[in-house]
Amino acid sequence: MTVDATLLDRLVSAPRLLVALDFDGTLSPLEDDPMAARMLPAARTAVDALTALPCTWVALVSGRSLSDLRIIAEHGDDSPILLAGSHGAEYWTPQTGTVEPADDPVDVALRDRLRAEAEHATATLPGVWIEPKTFGFGVHTRKAAPPDAAKANAAVDEIVTSAAPHWRRRTGHNIVEYAFRDEGKDTAIAHLRELTGADAVLFAGDDITDEDAMRSLEDGDLGVHVGAVASTSADVVVDDIPAFAALLARLAEERGARGGIDCEHV
pLDDT tens figures, 189-222: 999 999 999 999 999 999 999 999 999 999 999 9
Cα Rg of the chain (Å, integer): 19
* Res 5: pLDDT: 72
Length of the chain in terms of residues written: 266
User: For the chain, where do the domains classified as CATH 3.30.70 start and end?
Assistant: 105-179
Q: Which CATH architecture does the domain made up of 5-101+184-258 adopt?
A: 3-Layer(aba) Sandwich (3.40)
User: For the chain, where do the domains classified as CATH 3.40.50.1000 start and end?
Assistant: 5-101+184-258
Sheet of strand 175-179, all strands in order from the earlier edge strand to the far edge: 129-133, 136-140, 175-179, 168-172
Q: Which CATH architecture does the domain made up of 105-179 adopt?
A: 2-Layer Sandwich (3.30)
Sheet of strand 17-21, all strands in order from the earlier edge strand to the far edge: 97-99, 90-93, 82-85, 56-61, 17-21, 200-205, 222-226, 236-238
pLDDT tens figures, 64-102: 999 999 999 999 999 999 999 999 999 999 999 999 888
pLDDT at 262 over 90: no
* Res 24: pLDDT: 97
Task: Cite the active site residues.
Answer: 22
Q: Round the average pLDDT of the chain to a whole number and report it.
A: 94
